[in-house]
């Protein structure tokens, strides 16, 4: 059984996916108090291994682990963060905290997720820094963009996924191939929806109106306008029906908008585990 840590954990999409692959979570970190509440309600994680501020964590005190998972903060690399990248000291530099953890603990694999724009930010210079950082600490980096709909979740949600292994292990890693989309928005709603693939779940702009270009949470179902809620959002993100939100609906939708697409993470995680099994 491989041990993993869940950094910038959100509500636990990585935790859910990797646990289903029979990996064990030995440490997690999340700063948002509402997301922590949801994480604890679903995973019953012990307080002593659930850090609330990774910037204050003594890296040497993190338990040993095999895989580092993290959806590191995307704001510095997105439109919402004004594209400041590594110049955003409060958030962009959190990547370097990850690098410190990797350099100190030397895990067998690293598994990260971020917004697609990360690849183009600052004319590619931001991604180049990430690549060079992994190279300097002795890891080969593999990168690919997938949409949630590539793994049977009916929303676009393009995200960049980064997987790294120690150079000395010479791992022959390949990302999984997309699978046919068998679930549509009509399945999500349990009625006839005019859209096959849904909008990307987002954090802001709820209730903009079905005809507004910013709309992402209103759909025409059986001839009526319906508004997306946590029940539908969970299905679109790959969270199970019994996943609970001990927070307001507003917070639940925000948390889903910030979450990782579980099906995608699990498909990639399966290939990571397969690759680790080949290391002698």
pLDDT, one tens digit for every residue, the chain (280 residues): 999 999 999 999 999 999 999 999 999 999 999 999 999 999 989 999 999 999 999 999 999 999 999 988 755 555 444 445 455 544 457 888 899 999 999 999 999 999 998 888 778 888 888 899 999 999 999 999 999 999 999 999 999 999 999 999 989 999 999 999 999 999 999 999 999 999 999 988 899 999 999 999 999 999 999 999 999 999 999 999 999 999 999 999 999 999 999 999 999 999 999 999 998 7
Question: Does residue 37 lie in a domain region?
Answer: yes
* pLDDT recorded at residue 81: 44
Residues 110 and 140 in one domain: yes
Its domain, for residue 20, covers: 3-178+256-276
Instruction: Write down the catalytic residue from 23, 25, 69, 74.
Output: 74
Residues 28 and 158 in one domain: yes
Question: Does residue 263 lie in a domain region?
Answer: yes
In this structure, the number of other CB atoms found within 10 A of the CB of residue 174 comes to 11
* pLDDT recorded at residue 83: 47
Question: Does residue 19 lie in a domain region?
Answer: yes
Long-range contacts from 173-179, C-beta under 8 angstroms, 24+ separation? 173/142, 173/271, 173/272, 173/275, 174/271, 175/142, 175/144, 175/146, 175/268, 175/271, 176/151, 176/267, 176/268, 176/270, 176/271, 178/146, 178/150, 178/151, 179/150, 179/151, 179/152, 179/267
| Domain total in the chain | 2
CA distances (Å), origin 56, targets 177, 223, 257: 39, 52, 26
Q: Within its chain, how far is the Cα of 250 from the centroid?
A: 20
DSSP 245-271: --S-HHHHHHHHHHS--HHHHHHHHHH
Choose among 278, 259, 274: nearest CA to 71.
Answer: 259
* pLDDT recorded at residue 77: 52
Question: Does residue 272 lie in a domain region?
Answer: yes
Residues 72 and 101 in one domain: yes
Is 74 one of the annotated active-site residues of the chain? Answer: yes
Residues 191 and 271 in one domain: no
* pLDDT recorded at residue 80: 46
Residues 116 and 206 in one domain: no
Question: Does residue 28 lie in a domain region?
Answer: yes
Question: Does residue 251 lie in a domain region?
Answer: no
* pLDDT recorded at residue 94: 82
Residues 158 and 218 in one domain: no
- Residues 6 or more apart whose Cβ sits within 8 Å of residue 59: 100, 101, 104, 105
Question: Does residue 249 lie in a domain region?
Answer: no
Residues 271 and 148 in one domain: yes
Residues 191 and 57 in one domain: no
Residues 7 and 143 in one domain: yes
Is the four-CA dihedral 13, 17, 18, 19 of positive or negative sign? Answer: positive
Pairwise CA distance, residues 50 & 226, whole Å = 37
Question: Model's pTM, two decimal places?
Answer: 0.93
Residues 16 and 129 in one domain: yes
Question: Does residue 250 lie in a domain region?
Answer: no
The token pair at 114 is: 């971020």
């Amino acid at each position: 059984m491989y041990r993993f840590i869940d950094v910038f954990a959100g509500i636990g999409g990585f935790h859910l996916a990797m646990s289903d692959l029979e990996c064990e979570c030995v440490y997690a970190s999340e700063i948002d108090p509402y997301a922590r509440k949801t994480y604890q309600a679903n995973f019953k994680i012990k307080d002593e291994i659930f850090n609330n501020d990774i910037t204050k964590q003594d890296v040497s005190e993190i338990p040993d682990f095999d895989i580092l998972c993290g959806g590191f903060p995307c704001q510095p690399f997105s439109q919402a963060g004004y594209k400041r990248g590594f110049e955003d000291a409060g958030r962009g530099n959190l990547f370097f905290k990850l690098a410190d953890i990797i350099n100190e603990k030397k895990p067998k694999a690293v598994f990260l997720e971020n917004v697609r724009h990360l690849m183009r930010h600052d004319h590619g210079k931001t991604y180049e820094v990430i690549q060079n950082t992994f190279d300097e600490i002795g890891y080969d980096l593999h990168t690919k963009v997938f949409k949630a709909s590539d793994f049977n979740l009916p929303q676009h949600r393009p995200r960049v996924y980064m997987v790294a292994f120690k150079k000395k292990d010479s791992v022959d890693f390949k990302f999984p191939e997309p699978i046919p989309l068998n679930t549509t928005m009509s399945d999500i709603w349990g009625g006839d929806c005019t859209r096959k693939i849904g909008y990307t779940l987002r954090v802001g702009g709820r209730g903009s109106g079905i005809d507004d270009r910013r709309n992402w949470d209103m759909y025409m179902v059986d001839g009526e306008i319906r508004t997306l809620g946590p029940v539908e959002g969970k299905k679109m993100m790959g969270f199970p029906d019994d996943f609970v939100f001990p927070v307001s609906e507003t917070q639940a939708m925000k948390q889903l908008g910030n979450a990782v697409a579980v099906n995608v993470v699990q498909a990639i995680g399966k290939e990571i585990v397969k690759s680790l099994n080949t290391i002698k």
